[in-house]
Amino acid sequence: MDEGFVSIIDEKELQEGKMKLVRVEGKTVLLIRQAGKIYAIDDRCPHMGCKFSGGTLDGNVVICPCHDWRFNLETGEYENSPSYVLTMYPFKVEAGKIWVKIEEDDL
């Protein structure tokens, strides 16, 4: 069993310092590699739904393009108000691929 994980891209397709948008089971997952770490987040900002894929990265922070809110990729929290949290998806790297798990509740 793959425990619900879906293979989405080859790991080498995600370059350092870059974002890559992938559609998985009806969701838009934004993959990010920063300082050698991989993150898998929902592309929609929890503020008003803008797309992080049009934003920028600053260390382990992703900055939404609409209102410049800064979200910590380690915790998912908006720096100025941690009650706003972006959605982070479970993922794994296996057999040279990145696998993501979309929970039932996320659909």
- For tokens 């969701």, name the residue: 27
Instruction: Indicate the residue among 4 and 54 with the shorter CB distance to ligand FES.
Output: 54
Sign of CA dihedral 106, 58, 15, 67: positive
Query: Site residues for ligand FES, window 35-94 (CB under 6 A)?
Result: 45, 47-48, 50, 64, 66-67, 69
Give residues with Cβ within 8 angstroms of 83, minimum separation 6: none
Instruction: Indicate the residue among 11 and 77 with the shorter CB distance to ligand FES.
Output: 77
Query: Which residues in this chain contact ligand FES in the complex, by CB under 6 A?
Result: 45, 47-48, 50, 64, 66-67, 69
